[in-house]
Amino acid sequence: MKVTAEKNDKVAQMTFASIYPHYVRKVEKKGRTKEELHQVISWLTGFDEGQLQDLIQEKATFETFFQKATLHPNAHLIKGVICGYRIEDIEFDLYRNVRYLDKLVDELAKGRAMEKILREEKK
Segment 58-78, tens digit of pLDDT = 999 999 999 999 999 999 999
Q: What is the DSSP string of 65-115?
A: HHHH----TTGGG--SEETTEEGGG---HHHHHHHHHHHHHHHHHTT--HH
Q: What percentage of the chain carries pLDDT values higher than 70?
A: 98
**Model confidence band, residue 121 (pLDDT cutoffs 50, 70, 90):** low
* Number of other CB atoms surrounding residue 83 within 10 Å: 11
Q: How far apart are CA 94 and CA 25, in angstroms?
A: 24
State residue 84's pLDDT score: 87
**What was the pLDDT predicted at 122?**
57
CA-to-CA separations, 66 to 50, 110, 114, in angstroms, rounded: 16, 25, 22
Class of domain 5-113: mainly alpha
Q: How many CB atoms lie within 10 A of CB 21?
A: 10
Interval 2-14 mean pLDDT: 94
Model confidence band, residue 1 (pLDDT cutoffs 50, 70, 90): confident
pLDDT (0 to 100) of residue 113: 94
Q: Is 61 helix (H, G, I), strand (E, B) or coil?
A: strand
